[in-house]
Chain A
């Protein structure tokens, strides 16, 4: 079976562009704190979601709704309403991370298909099977801590479909288990759906030296001829002991296109592209390339080579944890 391309859409326009570019599946979120890309001007109101789902279904594509932040104590109703609205909008599945919310969805909307978000960081077959038995989870998005052989071993031990990230931003820490951003800025992926938010970024130009600060901490410094990367906390420049540099991760993004054949052999069902904050033209281009790759693979033809390098905006690429030496 051809591998499923799961593509991000931050806006109705991006959703339509992704569908037309050949995405099998689109994932998106409501315009509030219930999803992990809660950025200004992004995401779908209820009417847009219904229209977007109708459009996708009309073109044979599926829509998944990410409700993958951790509901705030005392305010769970906001997240419960999001699950109910996903069900009534005709979404093909919801992507959830919080056990309490999974329990709610399984109890109140048993017909609505449930995927386990990467934010749940289910990193072994026992845990994945437990989520399947307990909450009826049908698919798991694997955390970016696993090598390809480990993914293959998981697929031998579980009936749950696996979905893996192949392109875009790369978390270095286990997803859903990182409070670095809220420590420095007060805004967190788990609670607010944001990481290293732009509202807390400042740039200082000091005689041609450009400092990038996040929450008042200088974590990048470049000369004026150099490109200044966005100061995402875990990809910042720090010093420890005698070393100064990108101690956690370089400012790289993930590109596992060349690993697609191995991922298929490993039993992976779906390939996920990160980037609900990206433009529709970016999304369309990435989708077209990945669709071409999985179609070529299915037809027994060689993989197109290096097709996406130009989309990385000059950033270095990595295959991340898929190669064991990354650890």
Chain B
């Protein structure tokens, strides 16, 4: 099984963004998807740094893809999506809009924000040239099994959300801007102070969600360590790890150790939680009643 690093979902400064890929070049991962997934207003801040990051990663032997936006509405966003394939790097579509601009039969990847719930959609995407699909994080293990098998027949590698705060929703409205009494058009980049998103708590002060501009994520970090054998057995080709601001290369190493049998799932889960006492884990979308559920021991308060 391979490890894929998904696109950074948060708004980081250009320097921080670029240096994260410098560091990632030495991480034990096979594939890196980069580019702007969440908000088109963020892209100009680091767009000029993308070619260098791609070069560094390719030279380090990684496969590289470039993501589309998750929600394309504006004219400039359509233009951005149409120009994605110009960089000569494989495109990962995270909105079907991006597919409309790809040359017919050109190979491409499909990200977790495209609704691939069943064999019919998988097979249609394969007929359009999809070679790799990261399934929506919401899918239970039973669906993953069926789709991994269908993917094998179709020549499509199936990837599963393995680690990181789970993208739960995308909106036309910017919640960071709204919270500061601004609109999206005049947001003044209210999201830039929250490198892993802003904690959203319930009225009883339970941690619950994470605000990230137009995106809403889980508070918990998905962690598929306890399902790793089932995923391997199902024929899942890769585990997706989603970037976070602290300790991400160490986390990549932990999942590599897990895949190679160097460490147990329990040990990895404990190490991840020990890195930050506020890290809460979940794997409920795969095997629990609810997405937020966690099948292991919880160390966080």
Beta-carbon contact of A183 and B101 below 8 Å: no
Most chain B beta-carbon neighbours within 10 Å: one of A146, A179, A182, A190: A179
CA distance A76 to B120 in the complex (A): 8
CA distance A218 to B208 in the complex (A): 10
A161 within 8 A of B: no
Tell me whether A240 and B211 are in contact in the complex, defined as CB-CB below 8 angstroms, given that A174-B169, A178-B168 are known contacts: yes
CA distance A305 to B17 in the complex (A): 52
Beta-carbon contact of B138 and A179 below 8 Å: yes
Kindly specify which of A29-37, A120-128, A257-265, A289-297 makes contact with the partner chain.
A120-128
CA distance A158 to B99 in the complex (A): 18
Beta-carbon contact of A100 and B203 below 8 Å: no
Residue of A nearest to B100 (CB): A130
Beta-carbon contact of A182 and B175 below 8 Å: no
Most chain A beta-carbon neighbours within 10 Å: one of B73, B96, B123, B137: B73
Beta-carbon contact of A327 and B184 below 8 Å: yes
Kindly specify which of B237-245, B260-268, B284-292 makes contact with the partner chain.
B284-292
Beta-carbon contact of B72 and A238 below 8 Å: no
A81 within 8 A of B: no
Residues on the B chain within 8 Å of A76, using CB? 118-120
CA distance A178 to B211 in the complex (A): 14
Beta-carbon contact of A100 and B78 below 8 Å: no
Tell me whether A123 and B71 are in contact in the complex, defined as CB-CB below 8 angstroms, given that A173-B171, A219-B203 are known contacts: yes
Beta-carbon contact of A218 and B203 below 8 Å: yes
Min CB distance A217 to B, Å, is 5
CA distance A130 to B290 in the complex (A): 35
Residues on the B chain within 8 Å of A150, using CB? 73
Tell me whether A180 and B99 are in contact in the complex, defined as CB-CB below 8 angstroms, given that A71-B117, A238-B201 are known contacts: no
Tell me whether A100 and B122 are in contact in the complex, defined as CB-CB below 8 angstroms, given that A174-B171, A178-B169, A238-B201 are known contacts: yes
Taking a contact as CB atoms closer than 8 A, the residue among B97, B119, B121, B146 that contacts A126 in the complex is B97
CA distance A103 to B124 in the complex (A): 8
Tell me whether A247 and B169 are in contact in the complex, defined as CB-CB below 8 angstroms, given that A126-B97, A179-B137, A219-B203 are known contacts: no
Beta-carbon contact of B115 and A190 below 8 Å: yes
CA distance A83 to B120 in the complex (A): 14
| Binary contact track B76-93/A, C-beta < 8 Å → 1, others 0 | 011000000000000000
CA distance A144 to B291 in the complex (A): 25
Beta-carbon contact of A184 and B291 below 8 Å: yes
CA distance A191 to B118 in the complex (A): 11
Beta-carbon contact of A191 and B120 below 8 Å: no
B142 within 8 A of A: yes
CA distance A148 to B199 in the complex (A): 33
Q: List which B228-255 residues lie within 8 A (CB) of chain A.
A: none
Query: Chain A interface residue count: which class?
Result: 35 or more
Secondary structure at the A interface, as helix, strand, loop or mixed, is mixed
Residues on the A chain within 8 Å of B123, using CB? 100
CA distance A155 to B174 in the complex (A): 25
Residues on the B chain within 8 Å of A219, using CB? 202-203
B3 within 8 A of A: no
Residues on the B chain within 8 Å of A218, using CB? 202-204, 206
Residues on the A chain within 8 Å of B14, using CB? none
Beta-carbon contact of A179 and B291 below 8 Å: yes
Residues on the A chain within 8 Å of B168, using CB? 178-180, 183
Q: List which B50-79 residues lie within 8 A (CB) of chain A.
A: 70-73, 77-78
A227 within 8 A of B: no
A215 within 8 A of B: yes
Q: List which A201-234 residues lie within 8 A (CB) of chain B.
A: 211, 215, 217-221, 234
Beta-carbon contact of A99 and B96 below 8 Å: yes
CA distance A126 to B100 in the complex (A): 7
Residues on the B chain within 8 Å of A144, using CB? 172
B25 within 8 A of A: no
CA distance A73 to B146 in the complex (A): 6
Beta-carbon contact of B169 and A177 below 8 Å: yes
Residues on the A chain within 8 Å of B120, using CB? 71, 76, 98-101, 103-104
Min CB distance A43 to B, Å, is 21
CA distance A121 to B115 in the complex (A): 11
Beta-carbon contact of B185 and A327 below 8 Å: yes
Beta-carbon contact of B170 and A217 below 8 Å: no
Min CB distance B257 to A, Å, is 28
Taking a contact as CB atoms closer than 8 A, the residue among A122, A185, A220 that contacts B290 in the complex is A185
Min CB distance B294 to A, Å, is 12
Taking a contact as CB atoms closer than 8 A, the residue among A190, A215, A217 that contacts B117 in the complex is A190
Residue of A nearest to B139 (CB): A73
Residues on the B chain within 8 Å of A244, using CB? 203
Beta-carbon contact of A73 and B200 below 8 Å: no
CA distance A243 to B117 in the complex (A): 37
Kindly specify which of A2-10, A18-26, A57-65, A318-326 makes contact with the partner chain.
A318-326
Q: Give me the 3 closest cross-chain CB pairs, A-B, nearest first.
A: A100-B120, A145-B172, A100-B121
10 additional A-B pairs beyond A104-B120, A173-B169, A180-B209, beta carbons within 8 Å, are A74-B142, A99-B124, A126-B100, A127-B96, A130-B96, A179-B136, A182-B138, A182-B291, A218-B203, A247-B200
